[in-house]
Amino acid sequence: MNLTIFIIVIMVSFIAVRIGAIAFQLTGLEWSVAKFQALSCFTSTGFTTKEAELVTGSRQRRRIASILIVFGHAGLVTMIATLANSLRARVAIEDKLAKPLLPFLSIPPWLVQWVNLIIVIVAVYVIYRLFTNSKFARKLTDFLRKNIIKREIVKPVFVEELATITGGYGISQIEICKGSPVLGKTLSDSGLRGHDITVLAIIRGGRTIPNPSANTEMLQGDELLCFGKSENIKEKICTISSQPAEKGVRVEPE
């Protein structure tokens, strides 16, 4: 029984980290960063990195991180307890693991804990190989992402924070959606410079327009590469009116 619980907890832990990574990605983090931060939160490793500031600076990401930390602690305690019990011969015998497997075959009590240890190692290896298999991981990720979005557990956003520096400033990549206050305006008319936001480039239809001129109009579907305060960028570019966006949901300012 203890071995079964231990294996189940291991599998649930892998799935929980994957769900956390998907949730972080939907809030705008790059996938590799999202996976690392989800694993860091779940294991309570607490790496101090620039990417960690992207988590602590967002209310939605802090909520996701808090859930991962709580579940991570609960899972760790459960794994330690079940693993310790499964390696005790007396408990194993009580679980009938030491009874004859066949009329002519039985496991001595002193050997039970070693058999259990081998089972644990094999189970962890198989689970690890399964969840790190690219084909299986991709299908699992797609399945979980669709359900997370469908159930509106995490609201996807159009802002991807690429880098942060001291003072809340950083570089972000933002998609212009229907209802954005800057949609259809030129850079000069948008008033972004007045809010200390600089548009470094515009990505339009796979083509990059570096250092766009002041009379460049911002169209729906454009992706802006901006430098400025993250809060200002979200408020002045991403805040969408009461009319829902065609390609996603509203990004609410912090």
Average confidence (pLDDT) over 161-178: 73
Give yes or no: residues 76 and 15 share one domain: yes
Provide DSSP, 79-103: HHHHHHHHT-HHHHHHTTTTS-SBT
If pLDDT is split at 50, 70 and 90, which confidence band does 164 have? low
Domain limit, last residue, from 123, 150, 177: 150
- Smallest CA-to-CA distance from 21 within 2, 5, 36 is with 36
Q: Give pLDDT, residue 247.
A: 37
If pLDDT is split at 50, 70 and 90, which confidence band does 100 have? very low
Average confidence (pLDDT) over 188-216: 89
With a pLDDT cut of 70, the percent of the chain lying above it is: 72
Give yes or no: residues 85 and 173 share one domain: no
Provide DSSP, 184-196: T-BHHHHTTGGGT
**Residue 251: inside a domain:** no
Q: Give pLDDT, residue 231.
A: 76
- Kindly report which listed range (67-76, 122-131, 151-160, 176-185) carries the lowest average pLDDT score: 151-160
**CATH number for position 183:** 3.30.70.1450
Is residue 39 over pLDDT 80? yes
Containing domain of residue 232, as a range?
159-238
Q: Give pLDDT, residue 19.
A: 93
Q: Give pLDDT, residue 93.
A: 47
The answer to whether 22 touches 145, Cβ cutoff 8 Å, is yes
Q: Which two tokens stand for residue 244?
A: 């829902």
**Residue 136: inside a domain:** yes
Give yes or no: residues 12 and 51 share one domain: yes
**Averaged pLDDT of the chain:** 76
Rounded Cα distance between 137 and 142, Å, is 9
pTM: 0.56
The answer to whether 86 touches 97, Cβ cutoff 8 Å, is no
Give 27: exposed, middle or buried? Use CB within 10 Å, 0-12, 13-18, 19+.
buried
Q: Which amino acid is at 220?
A: Q
Give yes or no: residues 197 and 101 share one domain: no
Domain limit, last residue, from 150, 185, 210: 150
Give yes or no: residues 80 and 166 share one domain: no
Is residue 95 over pLDDT 70? no
Total domains, the chain: 2
Give yes or no: residues 12 and 85 share one domain: yes
